Structure 1
Amino acid sequence: VIWAGFDRLQFEENVVRQVLLLGYKTGFQVWDVEEAHNVREIVCKQDGPVSFLQMQPKPMTSKRSEDKFLDSRPLLVVVGDGTVNGVDVSHDGLGLYSNGSVPSSHELGNVNFIPTVVRFYSLRSHSYVHVLKFRSAVHSVRCSARIVAIAQASQ
């Protein structure tokens, strides 16, 4: 396990579940841990190293903008290195602990990757619906109902 943390998953307006997010050298898992006697896996994806995960809260509604990911929600923010199953898909180049900082190569063990890609994974369609690629390492990611903030090491 490279990264582990708890978050809140909002399925619908009033349905919120406590989830355990796990990032591995080979992918990630999301577990519903709301009920201790009924823990269940929501998703297990093995497509490359994942260093940080966070559920994206449902955005605040606005008359000026529409939610183009409405049909894909809930969304999981997945930070990685631009590879999927060992193949580089970034074309221009993932590792955060629960405190949001980039782990050192020692902390990652033998994993040698730089977190430069932020993907948005739909728990509804079980596919990536949006990808953000950066030239320098992603230092931290924080989501709210209004914004997704991404800090880079070069900033």
Structure 2
Amino acid sequence: MAEKLDSNKLISIILYSIIGLLGLFIVFVLYFPFVTMNLFGFAIYGGFSGVDASLDRGDALIVTLDDFETLDNTKLIVFELDGYGSADGLKVYKIMTEVVATEKTYRVHSSGSAISYQWDITEDMYLGTVKSKLPALGYIIGFLRSPIGVTVILINVILITTAVILVKKLKPQSK
């Protein structure tokens, strides 16, 4: 005979489902920003190796994808610099000029500076345009995305899971 589903069990199922979906969303936002950009139209980036003078290195930035062809010099853009040696990494700077070349590229600079960096930012490097900032949250995001952060998370999950299993095994069986 099938057991009747009581209201407490239903509430706990709904609560665990919501917590699971929220956890999945947080994992995607932290570790797969390209997926959240495609699914939800935004991504959150933090842990930059170079930032504009108007920002702090520890800011987390909410980014949306604008058309690369129509960017102008008022936009702060996030890009992954690659092929420039020690300057490589996740950057956010203001567009300065469009470079006339075979493919559309931009040069960037820091706010308040008249000198551009000699990086040619292509559409492949472009990750999005800054829409908002979350102060100091970038330090946390940068840590959680690092190998040490992932290791800390995995160790904590293993410890918590082990503790729950041990508590359930040691709990006296009563009916």
- The TM-score range, normalised by the shorter chain, is under 0.3
Structure with higher helix content: 2
Structure with higher strand content: 1
TM-score normalised by structure 2 residue count: 0.20
Greater RCO between the two (CA within 8 Å, min separation 6)?
2
TM-score normalised by structure 1 residue count: 0.22
